[in-house]
Amino acid sequence: MARKQKRSWGATLTIIPFWVLILGAYVGTMIWTVFISMTSSKMLPNSTFVGFDQYRRLFATDRWNIAVHNIIIYGALLMMLCLVIGFLMAVMLDSRIRAEDTVRTIVLYPYAMSFIVTGLIWQWMMNPTVGLEKAMHDFGWTSFSFDWLVTSDKAIYALVIAGVWQASGLITALMLAGLRGIDQDIWKASRVDGIPTWRVYFSIVLPMMRPTIVTAVVLMSLSVIKAYDLVVALTGGGPGLSTDVPAKFIMDFFFERANIGLATAACSVLLAFVLVFFTPWFYFEYFREKKGNR
């Protein structure tokens, strides 16, 4: 008994440095960010408390409201298109096609690229003077137009195209893993009963893949909230503010406009959104099931 307690204390002492690191590096910095957002900090942090003034200024700033509007459009379209394309690609790969390994590598390859490289590739592709539009004109299709990068009301959709191209490979891999986890006896039973394949997917397979779909949505949501590199590389937030996003707003006010108070207020709003959105999911997905199993 004494030996067992000694081992337990040893394990506890071993993980203490990790807890200190987590509390200091994550929780501590979050608390510090929220505190600074309630001060009048400009170029350097100070401790002059101003309450929620920075938040009032933030929500009265047109640029912030445009950035939030853009990220909602970008996030909703990105997740919807990635889920649909990823699932269809996974169904295709799950049908045991020829050269599956090669196709799977090609599909997943864009995800291996950084957002900067992805943005530069699509910036070239969508450039009217050197990209796809010029190629079509050279082939004789002179009426073809693909100038979304320089059109304010379409630039956000150009961002969506690049994002979907980069992320759909990962979603395909997740969906394929989920499909391969489905018991083959279900398919055999559905064939014996004469159930159409599309109905098996919608009524049986998709509900059984709920954990996979939830994981994909969570991963994409985190990617959407952090969206910065792709925006800077592809559009720089323009034309005008048509592709501005919260992460770019924060970085600009941190390092270019020297307004730490307003930037940390924006950071705190994103943190609050993440907590409000993910905490209920985290609870219902893990703790509620564990309580139900007791």
Report the C-alpha gap between 153 and 13 in whole angstroms: 57
Task: Report the pLDDT value the prediction gives residue 22, as an integer from 0 to 100.
Answer: 78
> pLDDT by residue for the chain (294 residues), tens digit each?
555 566 667 777 778 887 888 777 888 888 999 999 999 988 888 888 998 999 999 999 999 999 999 999 999 999 999 999 999 999 998 887 788 888 888 888 888 888 889 889 998 888 888 888 888 888 888 888 888 888 888 899 999 999 999 999 999 999 999 988 888 888 888 888 888 888 888 888 899 988 889 889 988 988 898 899 999 999 888 888 899 999 999 999 988 888 999 999 999 999 998 888 777 777 776 666 555 555
pLDDT tens string 8-53? 677 777 788 878 887 778 888 889 999 999 999 888 888 889 989 9
Task: Report the pLDDT value the prediction gives residue 294, as an integer from 0 to 100.
Answer: 53
pLDDT tens string 130-162? 888 888 888 888 888 888 888 888 899 999 999
Task: Report the pLDDT value the prediction gives residue 43, as an integer from 0 to 100.
Answer: 85
- In this structure, are residues 208 and 202 in contact, taking their beta carbons and an 8 Å threshold? no
Task: Report the pLDDT value the prediction gives residue 173, as an integer from 0 to 100.
Answer: 92
CA torsion 44→49→51→52, rounded to 10°? -10
pTM of the model: 0.85
| Alpha-carbon distances of 77 from 84, 220, 221, 289, rounded to whole Å | 11, 11, 11, 31
Task: Report the pLDDT value the prediction gives residue 102, as an integer from 0 to 100.
Answer: 87
Max Cα–Cα distance, the chain, nearest Å:
85
Report the C-alpha gap between 134 and 139 in whole angstroms: 9
Report the C-alpha gap between 124 and 137 in whole angstroms: 16
